[in-house]
Amino acid sequence: MQDEAVQRRFAAGEILCRQGEIGEFALFLEAGKVEILVEQADGATVSYGTRGAGSAIGELAIIGSGLRLATVRAIDDCDVLVITRQEWERRLANSDPVVRLFTEIIVARFREVMRRASLVPMPASMVSSEDLELCIAGASGSDRLRMSSDLRSAIRKKELSLRYQPMIAVDSGRVVGFEALLRWHHPVRGPVSPDEFIPVAEEAGQIIELTRWALTEACRALKRIERLRDFTGQLYMSVNFSSEDLASPDFVDRVRETLSQERVSPYQMRLEITERVMMNRSASTRDNLARCRADGCGIAIDDFGTGYSSLSYLNAYPIDTLKIDRSFIVGMHHDADALGLVQSIIGLARTLRLSVIAEGVETAADLRTLRALGCDHAQGYYFSEPLAESQLLAFLAAWQPQNVAL
């Protein structure tokens, strides 16, 4: 695989990396011996000792954007593993945000200590560690940390809630189901958008707990709505899942357990996953989805058309619904390409015998176009914004399908 560490051999006397270069890789010495050489400001070269098998070399230069602090020369023939900057950054991006932040800060501090002790000459233009730390931990880093720390208690403190957005059958105007959307009311910040806190929760490994809560809550709401509005068994609930949820080993057991505990039929549950989840091409994710599908759950691809992925996964995954991304619906009336795309997605869904739903329907004109193109279901501000449960009950009582029907 392209991202995996590559093995290389350096002959005795060869230079493994050179002081002052931009580091694009680090090395892990598996066999052999190297010497660390530092060229001083006066031009003299000083040896900083040797390293043997089991040492890491040049790792500082791929963490952050610093230049190499020393030249490393092979004393014996050396076998090394090459870890590229790209590989390091991928691993770092998948790590816990606290681990990431502290790693970057420790490296910045270390470079500053080296500079102050004049152990290595540094270009005057180089930023100080204070500046670097502010930059790393500033706007995004520390804010995300704080948010993730606050999220930890959000469920317990009842700061989270769900809103439900109705989905409407385009031909009859009937309500067919709802999408459950998370809301977080932070005691100080006020409402925080899911576009902000979901990525933080995903990164910090908290999304699994949030999803578990959302799934249970959405099932309970569905049962209450059915009871009060006499809709038993007719409506479905769509819940959003992240790739972290799908990858967790007890995913299927948890979904099954929640549905059975809350007495919701799998036929009334639709899992919404984004194209991104499928682009990971993980066998366990596919199996998990297949098991849910075999139980009767619907599987919808959210934001369809935005993932730049190959269409081959449409056959490989047990999908039953395509959800056309809002951006195409918004653009449909002034952009021929967007309209063409909507038309193609609906055609593709027909060919593959999938149902198709449009999100972000905001006007009567949007609905008319979607009806002419043969779209099955629609969702958007034209019908209703996402509603609290009590508002949803009022909406259902007042809803007149004929107002939007053919």
Interface residues with ligand C2E (CB under 6 A)? 165, 181-182, 193-195, 198, 211, 214, 240-242, 302-303, 326, 359-362, 380-381, 386
**Would you say how long the chain is, in residues?**
406
CB 155, CB 210: distance < 8 Å: yes
Q: For residues 130 and 149, what is the distance between their CA atoms, to the nearest angstrom?
A: 24
Minimum CB distance to Ca ion, residue 254 (Å) = 19
- Minimum CB distance to Ca ion smaller for 25 or for 197: 197
Which of 162/252 has CB closer to ligand C2E? 162
Both tokens assigned to 357: 């739903």
Give the up-direction half-sphere exposure of residue 116: CA atoms within 13 A in the CB hemisphere. Answer: 9
**Interaction partner, residue 360 (Ca ion, ligand C2E, none; CB < 5-8 Å by kind):** ligand C2E
271 forms beta bridges with 239, 299
Residues 17, 84: contact at Cβ < 8 Å? no
CB contact at 8 A, 204 and 97 = yes
Structure tokens at 18: 């050179």
DSSP 312: T
CB atoms within 10 A of CB 185: 14
Question: For residues 263 and 222, what is the distance between their CA atoms, to the nearest angstrom?
Answer: 10
Let me know: does 286 contact 304? Beta carbons within 8 Å: no
Choosing among ligand C2E, Ca ion, none, which partner's interface includes residue 242 (Cβ < 5 to 8 Å by kind)?
ligand C2E
Degrees, nearest 5: CA angle 401-402-404: 75
**Which of Ca ion, ligand C2E, none has residue 381 at its interface (CB below 5 to 8 Å by kind)?**
ligand C2E
Stretch touching Ca ion by CB under 5 A, among 5-13, 291-299, 312-320, 352-360: 352-360
164 to 82, 217, 225, 261, 396: CA distances (angstroms): 50, 11, 11, 21, 12
Structure tokens that stand for 119 in this block = 């152990």
On the CB side of 386, CA atoms within 13 Å amount to 13
Binding flags for Ca ion, 312-351, as an x/- string (CB under 5 A): ----------------------------------------
Question: Which residues, 285 to 314, sit near Ca ion by CB under 5 A?
Answer: 302-303
**CA-based end-to-end distance of the chain:** 53
Task: Report in angstroms how near the CB of residue 173 gets to ligand C2E at its nearest.
Answer: 17
Q: How many residues bind Ca ion (CB under 5 A)?
A: 5
List Cα–Cα distances, 287 to 95, 156, 212, 247, 250, in angstroms. 25, 32, 19, 10, 12
Shortest distance, CB of residue 331 to ligand C2E, whole angstroms? 12
- CB nearer to ligand C2E: pick between 181 and 301: 181
We find the least distance from the C-beta atom of residue 7 to ligand C2E, in angstroms, to be 39
217 binds, among Ca ion, ligand C2E, none (CB under 5 to 8 A by kind): none
Query: How many Å separate Cα 111 from the centre of its chain?
Result: 32
Check binding of 240 to Ca ion (CB under 5 A): yes
Q: How far is the CB of 383 from Ca ion (least distance, A)?
A: 15
Q: Which is nearer to Ca ion, 129 or 285 (CB)?
A: 285
What are the beta bridge partners of residue 175?
168
Least distance (Å) between residue 343 CB and ligand C2E = 20
| CB 214 to ligand C2E: min, Å | 4
Give, as ranges, the residues between 256 and 275 that touch Ca ion (CB under 5 A): 272
Cα torsion 144, 147, 153, 155: sign? negative
The binder of 366, among ligand C2E, Ca ion, none, by C-beta within 5 to 8 A per type, is none
Residue 84 or 306 with smaller CB distance to Ca ion = 306
Provide, rounded to whole angstroms, the least separation between the CB of residue 223 and Ca ion: 21
Q: Which residue, 71 or 268, is less far from Ca ion as judged by CB?
A: 268
Q: Does 150 bind Ca ion (CB under 5 A)?
A: no
CB nearer ligand C2E, residue 102 or residue 381 = 381
Partner whose footprint covers residue 214, from Ca ion, ligand C2E, none (CB < 5 to 8 Å by kind): ligand C2E
* Least distance (Å) between residue 330 CB and ligand C2E: 7
Residues of the shown chain interacting with Ca ion in the complex, contacts defined by CB under 5 A: 240, 272, 302-303, 359
